[in-house]
Amino acid sequence: MDQLLDDEQAIERIFAHIDNKTTDLGDTVWHAPVEQYYAPDRFEAELAMLRRLPVPFCPSAALPEVGSHIARTSAGTPLLVVRGADGVVRAFINACRHRGMKVAEGSGCAKAFTCPYHAWTYNLEGALKGVPGRSGFPDLDTSEHGLAEVHAAESGGMVYVAQDAPIDDAFLERSLDYFTPGQEIFDESELVDEANWKLLSETFQEGYHIKSLHRDSFFPYGLDNTTLVETFGANSRVIFPFRRIEKIRDTAPGDRKLAGVATSVYHLFPNVHIAVLSKHTSMVVLEPISPTHTRWFVYRLLNEHADGTPIPVEEARRDADFVNDFGQDEDRAAARAIQESVATKANSHFTFGHFEKAIVNFHQHLALHLDS
């Protein structure tokens, strides 16, 4: 993949944009038919794609110790992701091999998983270890009735899951280090929006709307339509500079850092966004529920000072509250409002122009994967 800009290169490019009143531009205009935001057949094709690809599931920090686990539905499949006794993260379909009931709910730490229906019990590696009334199942081969495993891997502080195909080494070698081993989760949340997952994803991927949509929230601190946009494969990074970047204009080039003067938002194809802010980093998984409903899973992690010590939790919470209470709520409201109109005769398609380079890249790769 192409090398992403380092901090100094990015800062130089930002100052050039500020001085010249420019921004990064794409070279393609994309037209997305509005049916893609509500049609059931398109939705089912996207779920199949999400099951086929390696998709970021959670930060490694969400599974900090042996027995740590998360049970949630992903691309329509109930999954159980757990750190085993050997420290390895594995993923299973969250369904008992007796009658199919979920063996876990939510997240936590366990020594084993016992189905609440008939108490069949599985160890952390998914093996069936206990069957009450074993004599009632004379032909049962317990070695063949462990939890059904799907593919999982860890890289760069991230847990990836692929339901229908192995995760190859080349994918892991290309993946970036998104979290350091020392970053800790200080908050997790979940919510549902009445909007297609792509509409919500698109709000993360451009700065063309900063002044108009975020006039009283982000715009007083940021710059309108002044962004750096880098694409790497199906993924992208969009850097949104703050006005306070001017404070480091005269700092020696080797000493200038993006931390604190810009927000970097990574889109990890298809449905995950990582936003590196001043005091914390958030990971957002946009999980499609239906063509018109999306569930958010949000993990917030403490950033670190240059010496590796964590940012105080209270500072990180203030950082997160500002994002949630202002800009992100405005983005979510915009996506919900768009959803209300997509099935009308107002538009046959949505147009993404040169200011929306990352979104065009997103749709180009959607088309490639859905045609495959």
For the stretch 234-265, pLDDT in tens is 999 999 999 999 999 999 988 999 999 999 99
Give the integer Cα–Cα distance in Å for 204 and 182: 26
The pLDDT score that the predictor gives to residue 321 is: 86
Give the integer Cα–Cα distance in Å for 184 and 64: 9
Residues 275 and 338 in one domain: yes
| CA nearest to 74, candidates 145, 126, 151 | 151
Residues 312 and 337 in one domain: yes
Output the domain CATH number for residue 151.
Answer: 2.102.10.10
Percent above pLDDT 90 for the chain: 93
Asked if residue 255 is part of any domain, the answer here is yes
Question: What are the phi and psi torsion angles at 229 (to 5°)?
Answer: -125, 120
Query: Tokens at residue 11, please?
Result: 């800062």
pLDDT above 90 (res 149): yes
Asked if residue 85 is part of any domain, the answer here is yes
pLDDT above 60 (res 1): no
pLDDT above 60 (res 98): yes
Average pLDDT, the chain: 96
Give the integer Cα–Cα distance in Å for 6 and 277: 16
- Mean pLDDT in residue range 175-191: 95
Residues 146 and 255 in one domain: no
Output the domain CATH number for residue 36.
Answer: 3.90.380.10
The pLDDT score that the predictor gives to residue 361 is: 98
Asked if residue 87 is part of any domain, the answer here is yes
Asked if residue 2 is part of any domain, the answer here is no
Residues 252 and 227 in one domain: yes
The pLDDT score that the predictor gives to residue 308 is: 86
Ramachandran assignment for 312, one of left (phi > 0), alpha (psi -120 to 50 degrees), beta (any other)? beta
Residues 41 and 86 in one domain: no
The pLDDT score that the predictor gives to residue 307 is: 86
Give the pLDDT band (50/70/90) at residue 325: low
Residues 124 and 34 in one domain: no
Give the pLDDT band (50/70/90) at residue 326: low
Please identify which residue in the block is written with the tokens 């290169």. 9
Percent above pLDDT 70 for the chain: 99
pLDDT above 80 (res 351): yes
The pLDDT score that the predictor gives to residue 3 is: 83
Q: How many domains does the chain contain in total? A: 2
Q: What is the pLDDT of residues 22-72, one digit of tens each?
A: 999 999 999 999 999 999 999 999 999 999 999 999 999 999 999 999 999
- Mean pLDDT in residue range 147-166: 97
Residues 39 and 119 in one domain: no
Asked if residue 257 is part of any domain, the answer here is yes
- Mean pLDDT in residue range 218-228: 94
pLDDT above 90 (res 323): no
Instruction: State CA 14 to chain mean position distance.
Output: 26
